[in-house]
Structure 1
Amino acid sequence: MKPDTSTPRILILGGSGFLGHSLYKELQPFFQVYGTFTGEDIGFQRNQAFITYDTTRDDLTSILELIEPDLVIVAHRSPYPQGIEAMKLLAHYCREHNAFLMFLSHIMVFDAVKKFPSYPGERTISESQTGRYFIALEKIVQELPSQLYCIARLSMVLGFNAPIMQLIKQSIINRVPIDVFPNLIVSATTITQVVRHIHYLINKRHVGVYHIASSNVMHHNDLIQEICHKLNIKDPKIKNVYHSNDDQYLALLSRADHWPGFLEFSIESVLESCTLSHISTPKTLLQIGLN
């Protein structure tokens, strides 16, 4: 199957995941969008726009040759060291074919920055394996000519069906404590905001490094408690975890001129959105599986 060349072709690596599939649904009406998936999901197997791909065993080159994408979005986390090799291959493809590479990176690239929130353009520094891995991936991307890449770092991604929300709900169902970090200050975003911002970056052909995060911050324990409150979860079991006696940041923020006004959002709006509390629906209907 040779793809149509009349409209830009986008390949989403991780198109079946929480982030990738949301991007697929957002972009598909406007572009030729293809995605990769892993596992045995019949729905993706029947969808001709999806191709099975496992970084540890499958050949990415054949997928690139088949789709010939104008833009590749990396929206999944591959295991080390296969992920490094895959990113190098993608960078080579983009350089040779003048294609664009967009990498959804991770807040953990700043996990060693504890006294302040982190902004685009600041030096990444991490003390965790995850953070150092994403820094290595970012460096590969940034070796491309500046007009050929965009790195979008994501703060904590919330949403009614987001993994972290599912973890909270499962903790309630199983009656196990939810770990919270009283001295940790965070920013957050929602899956809706992520796809809106990515779509904007693609349409405007922006390059460089961007942060998709709320315009303000909140203590982690307050964030989790507020989520539980908005879901009408009474007396949730909470386990306070302390790594320091002092407040520490794990928060992304953006410069004032990075986003237009209609794309700015607060952490309070994130809480409203991720719990659906802005919808006039009885709370009990939102607590399916919690009781």
Structure 2
Amino acid sequence: MKRILILGASGFIGNALYKELCSYFDTHGTYHTSNSFFESNHQFHHFDMETENVEILLENLRPDIIISSLRGGFEAQVSTHFAIINHILTYNSKLIFISSANVFDGFTNYPSYEYDKTLSQSIYGRFKIKIENALLRLPNHQYNIIRLPMVFGKSSPRIKQIKAILDLEEPLEVFPNVVINATEIQKVTQQIHYIINREKQGVFHLGSTDLVHQRDFVSDICTELGYSNPLFKNVYDSNYDRFLAVLPKDNKLPANLQITIHQIVEASTSL
């Protein structure tokens, strides 16, 4: 049985991945903030990347696959990932790196595909690119780069934020000229499970197959959540449509693992 270590398994994406994979693999996870549930679960290990070296944990567990969904200081993340790369080269294991559509936020005229050149104007996007570039120098079988757009779901932080703002009757910022795609957490975990099972290699864009203006998408979410007249604050950062979307071209998944904007809205707002 493959041993999988999820770094950041107490977070939104990492914990959903743990729940998806733990019945099929010897799955371990890390947590940072003290929590009685994680502390009592022997499959979870405390890890603070600001003060600890990940090499000790990796040497003790010797995972076949490391999934990184870490959050935190960028410098600590970079040094942690470079230590992981040294480990997987030594033990011929694999890293699945959860990246972001923001590695393309410097390109605004069209959606981006798996092997397009990356360019970011944001600190967050540039930090993701630095780790991606290190992975792209590895043998293909030793990494996956998983680029995600905004991730939604019934208990997702984004849905909770929308509800909190609207419940306070405050304006919700929307971007009428930004064209996006998105995804939903349960579909993401199924997709990554498939990538692991089939031993897929390379870069994957796990966003919806269709695109939508961000304001229209948020409006649909609000309507389905039961907010009939939400207050929007329209933010225009361009006179033209600006794209922030990741679409698959080289590494497409089977039809049953694809998702549409309509399905994301339904899955994120259902009771």
Taking structure 2 as the reference length, what is the TM-score of the superposition? Answer: 0.98
Aligned to 1:181: 175
Residue of 213, 218, 224 corresponding to 2:207: 213
The CA distance in 2 between the partners of 1:187 and 1:93, in whole Å, is 34
Contact 1:107 1:250 in 2 (8 A): yes
Aligned to 2:114: 120
- Is the counterpart of residue 197 in structure 1 residue 208 in structure 2? no
Aligned to 1:17: 11
- Is the counterpart of residue 107 in structure 1 residue 77 in structure 2? no
- Is the counterpart of residue 43 in structure 1 residue 27 in structure 2? no
- Is the counterpart of residue 95 in structure 1 residue 89 in structure 2? yes
The CA distance in 2 between the partners of 1:26 and 1:42, in whole Å, is 21
The CA distance in 2 between the partners of 1:218 and 1:232, in whole Å, is 21
- Is the counterpart of residue 141 in structure 1 residue 146 in structure 2? no
Describe the superposition over 1:67-104 as per-residue Cα deviations: whole angstroms up to 9, x where unpaired. 11010000122312111110100000000000011001
Counterpart of 1:76, as a letter, is: L
The CA distance in 2 between the partners of 1:77 and 1:22, in whole Å, is 15
Residue of 191, 211, 228 corresponding to 1:234: 228
Cα shift at 1:263: 1.2
The CA distance in 1 between the partners of 2:176 and 2:250, in whole Å, is 28
Contact 1:87 1:140 in 2 (8 A): no
- Is the counterpart of residue 247 in structure 1 residue 247 in structure 2? no
Cα shift at 1:188: 0.6
Percent identity, please: 36
Runs of 4+ more than 6 Å apart: none
Counterpart of 2:49, as a letter, is: T
The CA distance in 2 between the partners of 1:261 and 1:233, in whole Å, is 32
Describe the superposition over 1:118-140 as per-residue Cα deviations: whole angstroms up to 9, x where unpaired. 11111111111111110001112
The CA distance in 2 between the partners of 1:120 and 1:256, in whole Å, is 7
* Count of residue pairs the alignment pairs up: 271
The CA distance in 2 between the partners of 1:87 and 1:141, in whole Å, is 9
Contact 1:87 1:141 in 2 (8 A): no
The CA distance in 2 between the partners of 1:147 and 1:40, in whole Å, is 35
The CA distance in 2 between the partners of 1:55 and 1:142, in whole Å, is 23
Aligned to 1:279: none
Aligned to 2:25: 31
Taking structure 1 as the reference length, what is the TM-score of the superposition? Answer: 0.91
Counterpart of 1:82, as a letter, is: A
Cα shift at 1:256: 7.2
Q: Secondary structure at the match of 2:248?
A: coil
**What is the aligned-residue RMSD (CA, Å)?**
1.1
